[in-house]
Amino acid sequence: MGLLSNLFRVRPEEKKRFPPVPQWQPNTPIDIDRILKTARYYTDDKLQLGIFKYGTVAFFSTRIDDIEEGSKICLDKIYNFHADFKPLTMDDGNYLIEYSQPAFTIVFNDELENHWDYIEKNHQQGVCTDEAILNARGQANVFDRIGKICLFGRAKMFMDAQDPEIVKPFDPV
């Protein structure tokens, strides 16, 4: 047992997990080939991409030698610092959830149509323990449609971060 545990007598159930993760692990189908095709379109076929098994996409604006390793480092920086996110509505009607590092998750419009009841029912589980996400009105953990979409996409990113496996590297050269 570590020194701090001895000094403070922290019970195991009271230890906080770092980094925090949401409970939600979406179980909707993931089409890696479609994600690659769409990510290539969004990046104008000019960037190296690393696609993880749950659909998170890392991208590189300058050429790197090892897409797999670079992608894992990128995702680790998001996961171990803070998983900030920003939604973008794309010209094809899909949503891109952008993170603090060069990575994103695509949420397809038809995916929303086919699974909206599931997303609606589970979105609150996409909030991490002790996390407060403020909406535009300053309300904590109250989400509109876009907020629920973000939590859905971000939950997939957390799944990738906990078990990082590149399934589709792409190099435009």
Helix (H) or strand (E) holding 118: helix 109-122
- The count of residues in the chain is 173
Output b/e per residue, 10-31; b: 16+ Cβ within 10 A: eeeeeeeeebebbebebeeebe
pLDDT, tens digit (0-9, with 9 covering 90-100), for 75-92: 999 998 876 889 999 999
The mean of the pLDDT values for the chain is 88
Find the range with the poorest average confidence among 15-29, 32-46, 96-110.
Answer: 15-29
pLDDT score of 6: 37
Is pLDDT of 2 > 50? Answer: no
7 burial via Cβ count (<10 Å: 0-12, 13-18, 19+): exposed
pLDDT score of 81: 83
pLDDT, tens digit (0-9, with 9 covering 90-100), for 8-35: 444 455 456 667 888 999 999 999 999 9
pLDDT score of 58: 98
DSSP 64: -
Match 């010209």 to its residue by tokens: 91
Q: What are the DSSP E strand ranges found in 4-161?
A: 48-52, 57-60, 85-89, 95-99, 103-107
Instruction: Establish how many alpha carbons lie within 13 A of residue 148's alpha carbon, considering only the half-sphere containing its beta carbon.
Output: 15
The Cα angle at residue 79 between residues 49 and 108, in degrees rounded to 5: 50
Is pLDDT of 64 > 80? Answer: yes
Helix (H) or strand (E) holding 166: strand 166-170
- Cα–Cα distance, 163 to 11 (Å, whole number): 27
What the block records as the tokens of 4 is 């701090």
pLDDT score of 141: 75
Q: What is the reported pTM?
A: 0.86
Q: Between residues 5 and 103, which one has the greater pLDDT?
A: 103
Q: Which among 98, 5, 76 is positioned nearest to 107, based on CA atoms?
A: 98
Is pLDDT of 127 > 90? Answer: no
- Cα–Cα distance, 101 to 104 (Å, whole number): 9
Is pLDDT of 4 > 90? Answer: no
Is pLDDT of 53 > 90? Answer: yes
- Cα–Cα distance, 71 to 83 (Å, whole number): 15
Match 């997939």 to its residue by tokens: 156
Structural domain spans, the chain = 30-170
